């Protein structure tokens, strides 16, 4: 996938530019960069990953491509609460599938979103994992997980083919007003 693909997976879940967002499990920053372009330079992003090395690489890419965007790089494990401000949106792209026990993580994400805030999920569209993607969940499973953890109005945004597993999807779920 390229930058345009990453933006297209997120685009329909972003109602307006601006706001305060987080990318949880941001890795090398492919979706953080897409988010920066979609929400614009007046927005603020918290990029969270356990690997400080990839955050440094991400910071260089962000400064080169989106120098006016404010990004806070946080080296942390998002399975444990992190001190973040109330957020307009959260991106979790290919990060939740590393965790068997998703409910505590989703409950925490729900708690840090502002009312009406959006969780954008990007995931492999299968329930059968492997060594590299141990606990994926298809869109139907995501609908159930989202509802169970307080999210509403879950909708499928996009489907993409993938060399791995059964393709990918993106979805948006809201925190009730």
Q: Where are the domains of the chain?
A: 3-166
Q: What is the pLDDT of residues 63-95, one digit of tens each?
A: 999 999 999 999 999 999 899 999 999 999 999
Q: DSSP state, 165? A: T
- The domain 3-166 is classified under which CATH number: 3.40.50.180, 3.40.50.12160, 3.40.50.150, 3.90.45.10? 3.40.50.150
Sheet harboring 151-160: ordered strands across? Answer: 70-75, 44-49, 20-24, 87-93, 113-124, 168-175, 151-160
Instruction: Tell me which H or E stretch contains 132.
Output: none
Question: For the whole model, what pTM was predicted?
Answer: 0.95
Three-state DSSP at 93 gives strand
pLDDT band at 164 (very low <50, low <70, confident <90, very high): low
């Amino acid at each position: 996938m390229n930058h345009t693909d990453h933006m297209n997976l997120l685009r329909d879940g972003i109602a307006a530019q601006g706001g305060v967002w987080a990318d949880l499990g941001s890795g090398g920053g492919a979706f953080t960069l897409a988010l920066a372009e979609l929400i614009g330079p007046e927005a603020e992003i918290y990029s969270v990953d356990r690997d400080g090395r990839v955050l440094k690489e991400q910071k260089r890419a962000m400064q080169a491509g989106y120098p006016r965007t404010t990004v806070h790089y946080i080296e942390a494990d998002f399975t444990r609460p992190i001190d973040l401000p109330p957020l307009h949106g959260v991106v979790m792209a290919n990060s939740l599938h590393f965790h068997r026990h998703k409910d505590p993580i989703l409950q925490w994400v729900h708690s840090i979103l502002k009312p009406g805030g959006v969780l954008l999920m990007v995931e492999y569209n299968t329930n059968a994992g492997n060594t590299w993607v141990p606990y994926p969940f298809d869109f139907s499973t995501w609908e159930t997980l989202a509802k169970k953890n307080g999210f509403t109005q879950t909708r499928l945004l996009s489907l993409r083919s993938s060399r791995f597993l059964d393709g990918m999807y993106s979805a948006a779920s809201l925190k009730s007003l």
